[in-house]
Structure 1
Amino acid sequence: MNWDIVEGNWKQFKGKVKEQWGKLTDDNLDVIAGKRDGLAGKIQEAYGVTKDEAESQIKHFESLNKDLPPR
């Protein structure tokens, strides 16, 4: 998944991110603005997981959303 493309089309991807991580608020999603590192940080905060666990969850999300632009 190309996160530069995700960032450029963030409004289209916010819904999928919200489905995966329901604890993330609209304000969180606005702050993330399509940045992968920002997503990882907000997952850590909202779910109380380590950076490695957040990265693992994002990789799983990417594998489930292969219709999104490739990395």
Structure 2
Amino acid sequence: MGGAGMGRAGTPAFRWHLSNVQTWCSAALTDEDTCLDGLSSRAVDAGTRAAIRGKVVEVAQVTSNALALVNKVGPGY
């Protein structure tokens, strides 16, 4: 089902690509949790841990917003 584009809205190719985006966004959010869990079990100084946690949270917020937008598009197609 690959190809150069997503295809027209409502086509099987479009739905396939949309499903992939949902999967990737969901996986990225899961990875955020895993990353933060791993960070807490490592011997990392508090300042570095806080800086990394802040950046991971920022990325998670953007990813969550992207997933919400994709989910809004998804039901109609």
Normalised by the size of structure 1, how large is the TM-score?
0.32
More helix per residue: 2
Whichever of the two has the greater Rg, that structure is: 2
